[in-house]
Copies of this chain bind each other. A is one copy, B any other.
Amino acid sequence: MKLYDNQHAPNPRRARIFMAEKGISYDNIQVDIVAAENLSVDFLGVNPRGVLPTLVLDDGTILDESTAICRYFEEIKPEPVLMGTDPISKAKIESRQRHIEFDGLLRAQEVFRNSYRGFAKRGLGGNVGEVAAIPELAERGKLLLVQFYRDLNNYLARFEYAAGELFSIADITALCTIDFGSTAARLPIPDGLKDLKRWHSLVKARPSAKA
């Protein structure tokens, strides 16, 4: 099994952490997004969408989209449970994860893609042709990402983890969002958000966070 991966991008990291939590091993193939290796003829031969992570199973089956890759592993290796145990917990975790994706991760990606000089003509990821960066989108993203940090802090004042009382895929998505937001989007967790910092230390200390 091969995972086409990039060490700096948030979506591949989501898959790596999930697989580490499940104890799943694989061959890791690094693809340099800044150098546009994901848009090379070689990689487009593997995945015409040009996105990471891309998982290739031993029988040649190809899966992309981090949550779809996670779903596959949750199904074939249910323990430890990361996507819920019953209809309500499954739906709540999925709901919370999407809040984090849409309110947080997409905003951090908008900041980076629309402000990093190397992506002036690659405002969106993947094989979508030339897309000019939109500086206003980066500015909008910064404001919304700070708002997301505050909202998540408020949630974490009431709950131990990002989707309730148990560690789940939502925490993985939130960790990758915040670490990417802190580095690529240059917006670390603001002072005063103590519940978010408490949670971040807790999740970052898990061995999987190093994957």
Contact = CB atoms under 8 A, between A and B. Distances in A.
Secondary structure at the A interface, as helix, strand, loop or mixed, is helix
A92 interface: yes
A94 B65 contact: yes
Contacts of A49: 99
Nearest to A123: B140
Q: How many copies does the complex hold?
A: 2
Interface in A75-103: 75-76, 86-88, 90-92, 94-95, 98-99, 103
A76 B86 CA distance: 9
Contacts of A87: 71-72, 75-76
A128 B99 contact: no
Given A76-B87, A123-B140, 12 more contacts: A63-B95, A65-B94, A65-B98, A68-B94, A69-B91, A71-B94, A72-B88, A75-B90, A131-B144, A134-B136, A134-B140, A137-B137
